[in-house]
Structure 1
Amino acid sequence: MKPLVKTVATTAVVLAGLAGCASRSSGGSSTSAAGAGSGGSSTSSSSSSPGQTSSTAPSSTGQTGSPNPSNPSNPSDPGTVKYVPLQGLSLAKDGVTLVTEVNWGGCNDQPTLVIKSQDASKVVVEEKSVSHYRVGMMCPDFSRNGEATVKLDAPLGSRQVIDGVKNVAISVS
């Protein structure tokens, strides 16, 4: 009996969460429908529909929609920037491109490699991760793998590569 109660309670929580997401993405259309069925159809639908269509729907669609990775410089949703230590680094055949494997998903943009500084003796590199997660927003449940690359000003040669987050030398393969 107890497993059935847990299943029913979990289902209720999931359905309530989905209903909340649906009401946000619909722009208040459920309010207009409820007003129409309650007897005050002409007053309710004419007063709530124009106000919600013009002000609520565009702002909620822009803020609760999925992040747009093709426009990461969206000023209304800059995301949370975090620099993380590198897990491994390799040098491409051209001798000027550093490459690392990256994983991301959900509300995150694909991580990028950033050169903090470079001189004749060393190159300081960091991995930049941007998350668009906000409280109350559901993130897609997926994981992606890929590569992040960055070109150096000059061939790496004998220069040392430093992880900018941990401030330690990284071996380049």
Structure 2
Amino acid sequence: MGTKKPVQKLRKSKKYAIGAEHETGGGRIRILDRFIQDGEIMLRYMNLDTRQDVVNKEVNVNRLVYDYQQKKKVEAFEEIIVNHKPEILLEGPPLVKDPGALVDQVQPKEEEISVLKDEINYLTEIISSLKDEITSLRGEVTTISENSSELIKKQFALIEKLVGK
């Protein structure tokens, strides 16, 4: 790694203060001491599960704590996914005891649908007829407009003849 500057002065640390406890993959640890050794910040901690005293670099302990936290997040997420059971409603329409009654219920609906189809067809024919009439009226309006324009031109020509005399 190489060019890392050695630590000269130890600053206060809330995270690794003496007495602070952290969870790691190897168990719960309690910080006993924090000091500088060969330009590196070192931690002396006790594994509360095994009661063993350990000395390690702060960066290594930080990594152990971080890795454990990430592992716990993944496990929690996996548990959510594995234990997630979507609700499936197994209810359906009530069973029909008498199919004949069902046919009797459908019969009037079919008749209503048939009547509505006939009404729709009738209204469609009326709309088509109205469209044809509108097209015809537009043609007549165009003819009237053209004739009106011709008449206006003839009137102006007559007025000019009368005034011009």
User: TM-score band, normalised by the shorter chain?
Assistant: under 0.3
Q: Which has the higher contact order (CA 8 A, sep 6+)?
A: 1
> When you count helix as a share of all residues, which structure comes out higher?
2
Larger Rg: 2
TM-score normalised over the length of structure 1: 0.23
